Amino acid sequence: MDVTTDPDTSTFEAQRDAIKALAYRMLGDTASAEDIVQDTWLRWCRRAEPVVDPRAYLLTIAARLCLNQLTSARVRHEDPRAWLPEPIAGEAAGFELAEQVSMAFLVALQRLTPAERAVLLLHEVFDFGHAEIAALLDKTEPNTRQLLKRARDAVADQRRIATASPEEHRRLLRAFHSAARTGDVAALSSLLADDALLITDGGTAGVRSGRVRNLVRPLRGARKITAFLTAADTTQWADARDHMLNGQPALVVYREGRPLAAMFLAIADGRIVQIFLQADPERLRHLA
């Protein structure tokens, strides 16, 4: 049996992508994910016992660090505004070997408790067994199975959303962008499902679109979304460029060469069921 006992850099580097992918899914932020990678490296170097399975060992450390961050007082008491994960480009460093997930699925993950999120990701993405997860969470195996069931149930609707082809996705993105920018009520109504959901994130300071401040909670319903968009000053959305973000087509709106907002859709049966507008400047800087 191959047992690693020294702070082997190559062994750690072989798992770097997996650590970052787990941390990004848990935290929704690439800077925080990089911090988790560095903290995991420091603990790898300081370990005192032989390691039989470096991958499981390192991912366990990373998961614990993420759980600590998610359950900290700072996170628990932050304002309850709508919040979206940071977009990542399809070719972003550290994700080449990681399964890409859509913005819609990442948002669904954020609605889970930290423990549910950890169980779902470790079991279904990183192939951890229930015994390993139970030890990590200091719970019994039946507890972890129940957590997994609750997590699966919570994201089931998202998983049932049909995946549009990239061409259909881009067409609807462009049509939605054009209708929103011009205030075309009829076009928006034809594009949106009746129970469509809109989430905007303008950062901690919030942003104002014309007369409408950044939404502090998700907006549900085609009529409400149409009213919100047609009341906003969306003329600044003229410069919109195609991107591949989180493994799917997306539009990034630029103003004076700087990214203003990233636009994502979830589509089912040819209609838009979810819209995500990430307009937090701190989370868009890497798209410049």
pLDDT 10s digits, 24-67: 999 998 899 999 999 999 999 998 888 899 999 999 999 999 99
Residue 6 has pLDDT above 60, yes or no: no
Picking from 39-48, 95-104, 143-152, which range would have the lowest pLDDT averaged per residue? 95-104
Domain extent listing, the chain? 9-160, 166-287
| Higher-confidence position of 29 and 205 | 29
pLDDT value of residue 80: 52
Mean pLDDT of 166-192: 94
Residue 14 has pLDDT above 90, yes or no: yes
Taking the mean position of all CA atoms in its chain, how far away is CA 286? 16
- Please name the fold of domain 166-287: Nuclear Transport Factor 2; Chain: A, (3.10.450)
What pTM, to 2 d.p., does this model score? 0.86
Rounded CA-CA distance 56/73 in Å is: 28
Q: Which CATH number fits domain 9-160: 2.40.110.20, 1.10.287.130, 3.40.1500.10, 1.20.140.160?
A: 1.20.140.160
Picking from 78-82, 105-109, 146-150, 280-284, which range would have the lowest pLDDT averaged per residue? 78-82
Helix (H, G, I), strand (E, B) or coil at 267: strand
Residue 100 has pLDDT above 80, yes or no: no
pLDDT value of residue 68: 94
Exposure on the CB side of residue 2, measured as CA atoms within 13 A: 5
